[in-house]
C-alpha cells in the first residue's frame, strides 16, 4: 500500500496532467460539436480496428469448425452437382420418380501412394459412418477409387492408380464409351481403351464418368485427351488422357453410395 502511495506521489504530475487533459477534452467536446464529432470518429476508428483485430484472432481459432461446416456444405453441393448431370442418362426415370440413387459423404485421405503398380488408399470413414465395400470414392475433380474393405473407423480404397481397375468413361461431346486404365508410371497419365474408331474425337476433349457402372454417376469430370491415334487395323483408338488432378496428392474425397446397388448386382448375377 505504501508503495502504491509512493508511486502516486512520485508520478503525481503526469497523473494530474492526464486527469486534467481528460477533463479538458470532455470540456472541448461539450462545447464544440465539431470536436465532439471528430472525437467520436476517432473513438469509432479505434474500437472498430480493435474489434477487427480480435475477430481475426477468433476466426483463426474457429478455422477448424468453419472447415467442417464448409465440408458439410460442399458435400451437399457435390451431391446436387451430380444430380444435375443425371438427367442426361436417367431422363425419364428422374421425371417420373424424381429420385437420384446416389448419396455423398465426405472423407479424409490418410494414406495415399503412387509408387506401386497396384496402389491402395486409406480413408478415415468406416462402417460407423455408413461406408460399405464397393462404394465409389470421388474428389473435387475426378475419381479416386472404389472401396475394397471396411473396418469400424477406416476403409481401404482401390486407388485409380491400380493397373487392374477399369473405370467406365464417356466423352462429354461425342458420347463414345471407353474404359480408363492407369498406365503405371505418371500418376496423371491414363490410357483409354475400347473406344471405337468410328466415333469422332478431338484432342483436348473432356472425359467424364460414363454412368454405366453402379459405382459412379454420370458426369464427374476426369481429364482430357492428350494423345490421339486412330489405329485402323484394330478398329479402336489408342488414346492417352491426362487427369485434371493428381490422384496421389489428394487429401479430401467424397464417398458415394448407390442406393439401388443391390438390385443392380442382383441382375448382374442373373446374367452370369
Partner 1 sequence: MNSITIKTFSSFIIFLLLQVFIFNQVNLFGYINPMIYVLFLINYRFDRNHTFFLFLGFFIGFFIDLMSQTGGAHTIASLTVSFLRPLLIRNAFGVISELPKSFKNDPRKLNRILFLFLFILTHHLTYFIVIYFSWDAFLLIISGALITSFFSIILVLPISFMSKTSK
25 is a contact residue toward partner 1 (CB under 8 A) = yes
Residue 200: φ, ψ to 5°: -90, 125
The one-character DSSP state at 196 is B
Question: Coil, helix or strand for 213?
Answer: coil
31 is a contact residue toward partner 1 (CB under 8 A) = yes
CA quadruple 205, 210, 216, 220: dihedral, nearest 10: 20
Residues 32-71 that bind partner 1 (CB under 8 A): 32, 34-35, 38
Stretch that binds partner 1, among 25-33, 65-73, 85-93, 203-211 (CB under 8 A): 25-33
CA quadruple 173, 218, 99, 127: dihedral, nearest 10: -170
Question: Considering beta carbons, is residue 16 or 70 the nearer one to partner 1?
Answer: 16
Q: Across-strand partners of 229?
A: 238
CB of 125 to partner 1, least distance (A): 58
41-47 LR contacts (CB < 8 Å, sep 24+) = none
CB of 47 to partner 1, least distance (A): 19
99 is a contact residue toward partner 1 (CB under 8 A) = no
CB of 187 to partner 1, least distance (A): 58
Report DSSP letters for 219-244, one per residue: T-EEEEEEEEEEETTTTEEEEEEEES
CB of 7 to partner 1, least distance (A): 15
The site map against partner 1 for 106-145 (x = CB under 8 A) is: ----------------------------------------
17 is a contact residue toward partner 1 (CB under 8 A) = yes
Q: Out of 3, 5, 13, 267, point to the residue binding partner 1 (CB under 8 A).
A: 13
Question: Considering beta carbons, is residue 14 or 152 the nearer one to partner 1?
Answer: 14
Stretch that binds partner 1, among 8-16, 128-136, 139-147, 230-238 (CB under 8 A): 8-16
- Angle 147-142-199 from CA coordinates, rounded to 5°: 110
Report DSSP letters for 154-178, one per residue: -EEEEEEEETT--EEEEETTT--EE
Number of residues in contact with partner 1 under rule CB under 8 A: 17
CB of 10 to partner 1, least distance (A): 12
What b-and-e string marks burial along 123-157, b requiring 16 or more CB atoms within 10 Å of the CB? Answer: bebbeebebeebbbbbbeebbbbbbeebeeebbbb
Question: Considering beta carbons, is residue 27 or 260 the nearer one to partner 1?
Answer: 27
Stretch that binds partner 1, among 11-19, 80-88, 191-199, 213-221 (CB under 8 A): 11-19
- Residues at the contact surface with partner 1, assessed by CB under 8 A: 12-14, 16-17, 20-21, 24-25, 27-29, 31-32, 34-35, 38
Amino acid at each position: 500500500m505504501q508503495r502504491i502511495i509512493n508511486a502516486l506521489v512520485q508520478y503525481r504530475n503526469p497523473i494530474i496532467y492526464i486527469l486534467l487533459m481528460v477533463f479538458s477534452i470532455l470540456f472541448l467536446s461539450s462545447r464544440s460539436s465539431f470536436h465532439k464529432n471528430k472525437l467520436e470518429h476517432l473513438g469509432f476508428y479505434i474500437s472498430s480496428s480493435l474489434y477487427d483485430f480480435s475477430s481475426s484472432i477468433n476466426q483463426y481459432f474457429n478455422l477448424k469448425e468453419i472447415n467442417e461446416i464448409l465440408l458439410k456444405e460442399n458435400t451437399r453441393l457435390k451431391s446436387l452437382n451430380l444430380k444435375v448431370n443425371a438427367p442426361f442418362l436417367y431422363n425419364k426415370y428422374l421425371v417420373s420418380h424424381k429420385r437420384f440413387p446416389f448419396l455423398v459423404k465426405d472423407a479424409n485421405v490418410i494414406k495415399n501412394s503412387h509408387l506401386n503398380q497396384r496402389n491402395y488408399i486409406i480413408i478415415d470413414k468406416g462402417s460407423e459412418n455408413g461406408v460399405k465395400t464397393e462404394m465409389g470414392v470421388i474428389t473435387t475433380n475426378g475419381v479416386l477409387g472404389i472401396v475394397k474393405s471396411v473396418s469400424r473407423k477406416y476403409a481401404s480404397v482401390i486407388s485409380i492408380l491400380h493397373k487392374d481397375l477399369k473405370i467406365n468413361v464417356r466423352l462429354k461431346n461425342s458420347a463414345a464409351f471407353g474404359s480408363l486404365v492407369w498406365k503405371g508410371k505418371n500418376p496423371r497419365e491414363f490410357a483409354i481403351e475400347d473406344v471405337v474408331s468410328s466415333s469422332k474425337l478431338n484432342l483436348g476433349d473432356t472425359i467424364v464418368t460414363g454412368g454405366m457402372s453402379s459405382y459412379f454417376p454420370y458426369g464427374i469430370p476426369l481429364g482430357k485427351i492428350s494423345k490421339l491415334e486412330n489405329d485402323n487395323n484394330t478398329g479402336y483408338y489408342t488414346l492417352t488422357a491426362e487427369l485434371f488432378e493428381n490422384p496421389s496428392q489428394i487429401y479430401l474425397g467424397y464417398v458415394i453410395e448407390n442406393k439401388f446397388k443391390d438390385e443392380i448386382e442382383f441382375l448382374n448375377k442373373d446374367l452370369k
